Amino acid sequence: MTDLQPDPTHGRAAAVRSLAATVPAVAPDRLVAELVPPPHFAGASFESYVPDPAHPSQAAAVERLRRATEQVVGSTGSSWWRRRRTQPEAVYLDGGFGVGKTHLLAALAHAVTAAGGRAAFGTFVEYTNLVGALGFRQTVAALSAYRLVCIDEFELDDPGDTVLMSRLLRELADHGVALAATSNTLPESLGEGRFAAEDFLREIQALAARFDVLRIDGEDYRHRSVEHGDALADDAVREAVTGRPGATLDDFSALLAHLATVHPSKYGALLDGTEVVGLTGVGPVTRQEVALRLVVLVDRLYDRDVPVLLGGGGTQGLFSDEMLRGGYRKKYYRALSRLGALAAAGARATA
């Protein structure tokens, strides 16, 4: 089944809410208020992160972030002029999928908050969406009130985002705001394989120069601890969600078509009140713009710990080999890792 051909059975189970029939409305101030670590990482701390002894870089990263916390909160009471004259803390967590980068970033945000500082936490996409909703100057004003701005999944998708984020970070640093980011791509390699990076080399280098890069080695803990299992039959998905509080049921193709009508900044609101997501007719996504919207949705599902029931072909062949070799490959591999974990949680929850 292609990604834009709705399943004719879609909508029969009227008792179950459909995400594709939901049109969320989000006020700009909600976007700012929600710049906090997501529920999945609400309890993340340096103590709850368990470094793998086989990879010493994990323990080293924890210690470096503890020092970063002291640096950030130590300047909480300093004057604006003194903060401007002092280069604020800026750390960048680089590593593969599932090594705990987001956990550590959330732990840093929690530690700064607990020590009396204000910390904003959001994905790269959420910050660019914030600029779109508020405007650049209002975004700078809103984020300058924080001592620390955490940017998860820092990946540049186009030249416009490169210039936008470079300018935003430069102005925040000028206001004395500390920065922390995670990515699967080293700062000097951002944008590689997606556009003519050499045309924007100066912007990319300016980003890279601001960060102390912490390399975190290790295996994907989701792959270490989770068996993804086989996809469910579509009838089994329908049966599992029918009458279940907080459940939704959608044909995969219909949901993908609906995502094209909703701004990605509203994907979180789309999931308000959702406890489990049932998807029938899951199959390969053939268009890149559709695949990238799906990646954002998977990230919001993962943030909120929403189990997923996958019918059709499940994650098998979801993204093409060409996509998994292309410039967005890291996004797609992260989505597969996270979606597999959510599917395993869904299978356990309905067993």
Q: What is the pLDDT of residues 12-26, one digit of tens each?
A: 444 799 999 999 988
State the DSSP H helix or E strand holding residue 250, giving kind and residue range, or none if neither.
strand 247-251
The pLDDT, as a whole number, for residue 187 is 53
Q: What average pLDDT score do residues 124-145 get?
A: 90
Which pLDDT score is estimated for 227?
A: 46
With 0.95 as the threshold, say if the pTM is over it: no
Residue for token pair 């300093």: 78
- pLDDT beyond 70 at 77: no
- pLDDT-based confidence at residue 194 (cuts at 50, 70, 90): very low
Q: pLDDT for 240-292, tens place per residue?
A: 999 999 999 999 999 999 999 998 888 999 999 999 999 999 999 999 999 99
Bridge partners (DSSP) listed for residue 92: 181, 213
What is the rounded distance in angstroms from the CA atom of residue 302 to the CA atom of residue 279? Answer: 15
Residues sharing a CB contact under 8 Å with residue 173, sequence separation 6 or more, in sequence order: 87, 88, 90, 179, 210
Q: Is the pLDDT of residue 76 over 90?
A: no
Please choose, from the candidates 101, 96, 113, the residue with its C-alpha nearest in 3D space to the C-alpha of residue 61.
Answer: 101
Instruction: Provide the 3-class DSSP secondary structure of residue 169.
Output: helix
Q: Does residue 98 surpass a pLDDT of 90? A: no
pLDDT score at 80: 46
pLDDT(168) > 50? yes
pLDDT at 162 over 80: no
What is the per-residue pLDDT across 298-325, written as a single tens digit (0 to 9) for each? 999 998 999 999 999 999 899 999 999 8
pLDDT category of residue 8 using cuts at 50, 70 and 90: very low
Per-residue pLDDT band for 116 (boundaries 50, 70, 90) equals very high
Provide the mean pLDDT of the chain: 83
Q: Which of 194-208, 225-239, 282-296 has the lowest mean pLDDT?
A: 194-208
The predicted structure's pLDDT at residue 223: 52
Q: What is the pLDDT of residues 137-161, one digit of tens each?
A: 999 999 999 999 999 987 665 567 7
Closest CA to 143 of 203, 88, 101: 88
β-pairing, 212-216 vs 178-183, is unpaired
Tell me: pLDDT of 184 over 70: no
Q: Does residue 181 carry a pLDDT above 70?
A: yes
Q: Is the pLDDT of residue 196 over 50?
A: no
